[in-house]
Amino acid sequence: MAPAGSLPPGIDATVLAAALPHTVWVLAGAGEIEYANRGPGSPGEPWSFLVHPEDLAAVESAARVAGAGPYELECRLKRVDGSFGRHGVRFTPVDARPGWWIATGTDVEERAALRDELAGARRRVTETLSLLETLEAAAPAGFGFVDSDSRLIRVNETLAAMGSVARGEQLGRPVDEVLPGVWPQIAANYHRAWQTETAIVGTVVTAPSQGEAEGPRSWLAGCYPVRVEDRMMGVGLVLVDVTEREQAQAFRSVIMDDMAEGLYTVDGDGKLTSMNRAASEMLGWAEKDLLGLSVHDTVHAVPWNGTPQPESECPLRRIRTAGQSAQTVDETFVRRDGTTFGVACSVAPLETGGGLPGAVVTFRDMTEVRRAELEARHDQKLESLGRLSAGLAHEINTPIQFVGDNTRFLADAYQDMLDLLLVYRECMTPALGELQWSERTERAQRAEAKADVEYLATEIPAAVSQSLEGVERVASLVRAMKSFSYKDSTEQSYADLNEALRTTLTVARNEVKYVADVVLDLGELPDVLCHLGDLNQVFLNLLVNAADALKDKAERGEIRITSRVEGPTAVISFADNGTGIPADIQQSIFEPFFTTKEVGKGTGQGLALARAVLEKHGGSIEVRSVVGEGTEFTLRLPVAGRPETA
Amino acid sequence: MSKARALFVDDEPRILDGLRRSLRGKRGEWEMAFVSDGAEALELLAQQPYDVVVSDMRMPGMDGAELLTNVSRRHPEVARVVLSGHIEPEAAIQVAVAGHRFLTKPSDADTLIAVIEQLLIRTSAAHQSEARRIAGGVRAIPTLPEHTDGIIGLLAPDANLSYAVQMAMHDVGLTAKLLQLSNSRFFGSRPRNSSVESIVNAMGVPMVQAVAGAGHVLRPTSAWDPVIEDHLRTAWRHAVATACLVDFVASPANRPHAQAAALLQDVGRLVCLAAVGDKEGSGVDLGAETRDGVPFRDVGVELLHLWGLPPPIVTAVAQRDAEQSPDLSGLGVAAAVRTAHLLIQGTESACPAAGRHEEELAQLLSHPQLKAQAVDWRRAADEASRQAGLWHSNGRH
């Protein structure tokens, strides 16, 4: 393109050159600088002095290749400040003076930097994107991006899987259409994020899981506003799978809020670190009131007899520090109001890292259980009474039968006697006047023979006495039943235990009489302070057990009941010569529900009850037994009652 | 005529003394012995014949159940009475199997005397002692093999009342045993004219199970002779069909007795044939319908009498094959059973050994009590027969 116009006067080539944003050199044939519009190069110097030594070879080679034609190259040239900068250099031969060149240099350093920066930026964007995609695909989290029109612009597989259509079809469509399950739970946060331009996080949403077998999963949803240069571009969605955490939380909340057993945790010093609602309700303390306090001092200090127990002796602490777990310990806890209640505890040490282990303690209020035990004891009493009642009916029916038969006989006999009497009276009447005495005697004798006077004379007294005996049998039985089922007051009272033993034998006679003879060897006994009703029950159980032990014996057995005093103790024993108890189960027989009897014949409570009753009296029960020879139970009772209350 | 002989056993001497005195009025008619234990009783029985033995249940050594079981084997001709003061169900079941009649203490002398006097009567005119011997040895009536499953079902812990009623009403042995026991105060008081259904309801399922179970133990386990089994199956189907039909024929008041009599009509056949295969059963003559020369029917009637079933039932069973000419005022149990029996004879459930007697049947059907009902009796009979057949095939499974 030809230049247009001509230079006005006063503007020559040097003025022009000075205005150019480039460096212009005029080089003479040998490459010396003839002219430079600016820059470090001075006239007369070789231009090559300006070239960075490392680029010199490349420049010379380019010149050789170009020959006489124009060429361009890029190389580092010295700047005015002495530094080197990359320049684009263009050499143009001067047609008018062969061998001469005009070179123009443009500092391209900044442009190159810009270009490098651009390339770097592009690479970094690519890297970031691929990282993002990798993360999106790999993380157990849902990612999405929703624009201002509520359209889903970006979504990863995890989030897409919560939607109704395939991932590819979701992009660009309204988010409430493509994510109908979760969007309603997020929409409000999305709008708030828009309005406030702040991240709205912490909402847990649920979505059906991909696997059919699993239940719905829980996700923690966050809405993050995305701004570009203060302009809201959209909202990023991040959904993190918190199902396990939610389940763990639900589990924990069951333990902490719904579990019927009390639970608390303590640190290595025995200070409370947490407590569940049941514990809080049972103890009357709110968790916050006890946090950091010694549990031992606040709820566990006072045993029933009133002496505070130092923490060093606290069994719960001993278990905790010994590192053993899950023992069930019966303890007494104190409520906030000072009342106490029995509990069964288990303790599991909890390593807290360094120092003594803490512990998780669970406990159950045993008040109801103990009450149920008392009721079971009452049931046991009813059970033995039930068993007795059939026998008692027989014991009563038998005398009633023979009393009835005898009475009927006596009625007949009375009639026979009356008939005889009438004959006698007739024989005596003067009206018979002329009748011979011998005739009268004969009539009387006939009547006597008819009435069988000899028989009546022996049988009537026997019938009367046996009837009375029968009546007395029934009466004594009724008395014994009344005395046996004597209702204990809560206080102990003095009682004649020999009399109680006789009474027991009377009511249980029918249980015993078919299998054994009972020998009573009762010594002098002072009255004993006791709960007589409970002891009667024990006597009955031991007597019936003895009879049961004799049932399988071929011949009739013997049960020997003895009583004696040894100092301040009344000693009563029940011995039978029955089958005996094998040594290996002798220790078990006092356990509740231990029984060798067939189902329905006993609940296995009898001896457990006996031991409980004796212990309540401050006494003891022991067994001595040899298989094949027999068994003896020995009861020892303090005459003056239980030591603590005496 | 020689005096009747009764033996009393009780371990309580006061009881024996009382009985001796209160029964003294009978000393002119009865020879009485009183012993205090079972072994002594068996010795006496071996020495002299007795008609009746009255025993306590619970005694040291040999108890009443053991004694009476021994008596039933060694001296089946001796009628067995239990007199016990025990009221436990276990004891009740033992006596249910071992004894003929059950009395509880206290029982007054009149009751005891009445029972003994009843037992002194033999129902079979022609075969007094033989019929008594065969019937007396029966402690439980066997169940037909196809009913065994039903009884096992009844013994299941989840058996319900209606099932128990169904089983009891269709099983000859269980019906007879329950009627026998319902006469005893062991099982509580009872209405006089009680049906099997009301007895089962009153006793409750556990008691019925215990009774059925006790009978089950006694049942011979050996396979029945197929000919005998077939014979019995026919008789049983006939009995069930008759029992179904008699429900319509008998007046409401007579229904319970009529039904029981219909079901029990061939009980003698059942007990006699059950013995076939045992050595005692060798005297059975199927053609003549006799055992040891005694007609099956005589054995059955004697058995029902021994067991103390209500007299209308015993009479109706006794007269099943006798021509009936009922009073116009009412059909009565016996004629109702006979009518139902003859109607069933015209169906598939007919009993081949008995005849048709069409003239008598026509006469009976013209009785005012039956004419008053608008029932096609022959169709009703076919329906009853069909029902019995159904129950029969169900009972097999």
Chain A residues lying within 8 Å of B92, measured CB to CB: none
Does domain B4-121 correspond to CATH entry 3.40.50.2300?
Answer: yes
Q: Which of B130, B140, B139 is nearest to B77 (CA)?
A: B130
User: Considering only CB atoms, which residues of chain A are within 8 Å of chain B?
Assistant: 390, 393-394, 397-406, 408-409, 412, 459, 462-463, 466, 469-470, 513-515, 556
Cβ contacts of B24 on chain A, cutoff 8 Å: 409, 412
Residue with tokens 């999305």: A190
- How much is the pLDDT for A646? 37
Closest chain B residue to A511 measured between Cα atoms? B58
Closest-CA distance, B87 to chain A, in angstroms, reads: 6
Residue of B11, B24, B57, B112 to mutate, interface with A, max A Cβ within 10 Å: B24
pLDDT in tens, A346-362: 888 887 666 778 888 88
Q: Which two tokens stand for residue A357?
A: 């282990």
Q: Report helix angle B161-170 to B172-182, nearest 10.
A: 110
Which residue type is seen at B21?
R
B106 cis-preceded (ω within 30 degrees of 0): yes
Contact A393/B87, CB-based, under 8 Å? yes
Residues in chain B within 8 Å Cβ distance of A403: 18
Enumerate residue ranges in chain A where pLDDT < 70.
1-3, 209-214, 301-309, 324-327, 352-354, 373-387, 432, 485-490, 592-605, 643-646
CA distances to A268, A303, A305, A311 from A332, in Å: 22, 6, 11, 14
Mean pLDDT lowest among A516-530, B62-76, B121-135, B197-211: B197-211
- Banded model confidence at residue B192, pLDDT cuts 50, 70, 90: low
Instruction: Name the burial class of residue A74, with classes exposed (0-12), middle (13-18) and buried (19+) by CB atoms within 10 angstroms of its CB.
Output: middle
- Chain A residue numbers touching B107 (CB-CB < 8 A): 401
| CA-based nearest residue in chain B for residue A463 | B18
Number of Cβ pairs < 8 A linking chain A and chain B: 78
**Helix B255-263 vs helix B196-203: angle between axes, to the nearest 10 degrees?**
90
pLDDT the model gives residue A1: 53
Flag whether residue B216 sits within 8 Å of chain A, measured between CB atoms: no
Backbone dihedral region for residue B243 (phi beyond 0: left; psi -120 to 50: alpha; all else: beta):
alpha
Contacts 24+ apart (CB under 8 A), B377-381: B377/B249, B377/B343, B378/B343, B378/B346, B380/B245, B380/B248, B380/B343, B381/B241, B381/B245, B381/B340, B381/B343, B381/B344, B381/B346, B381/B347
Q: Which of B15, B17, B20, B21 to mutate to test the interface with A (most CBs of A within 10 A)?
A: B21
Q: Which of A409, A466, A515 sits opposite B14 (nearest CB)?
A: A466
Q: What is the pLDDT of residue A382?
A: 60
Contacts of A400 in chain B (CB under 8 A): 105-106
Backbone angles phi, psi at A84, to 5 degrees: -95, 140
Asked whether this complex has an ipTM greater than 0.85, the answer is: no
List where CATH 3.40.50.2300 sits in chain B: 4-121
Closest CA to B237 of B333, B345, B337, B332: B345
Please give the pLDDT value at position B395: 47
Instruction: Write down the CATH number for the domain with range B226-395.
Output: 1.10.3210
Which residues from chain B sit within 8 angstroms of residue A600, using beta carbons? none
Nearest-CA distance from B105 to chain A in Å? 6
pLDDT of residue A617: 87
> Cβ–Cβ of B87/A394 closer than 8 Å?
yes
Assign residue A422 a region (left: φ > 0; alpha: ψ between -120 and 50; beta: otherwise).
alpha
Domain limits, CATH 1.10.3210, in chain B = 226-395
Q: Interior CA angle at A497 toward A491 and A500, to 5°?
A: 95
The pLDDT value recorded for residue B223 is 63
Tell me whether residues A397 and B25 touch, CB distance under 8 A.
no
B88 touches chain A (CB under 8 A): yes
Partner-chain residue, chosen from B21, B105, B109, that has the shortest CB–CB distance to A398: B105
* CB spacing of B18 vs A409 below 8 angstroms: yes
How many residues in total does chain A contain? 646
pLDDT for B396 = 41
Residues in a beta bridge with A78:
A84
Chain A within 8 Å of B27 (Cβ-Cβ)? Answer: no
- How many angstroms away from the CA of A479 is the closest CA of chain B? 20
Nearest neighbour of B60 by CB, restricted to A400, A409, A514: A514
Pairing of strands A327-334, A340-350: antiparallel
Look at strands B101-104 and B79-84 and give their pairing: parallel
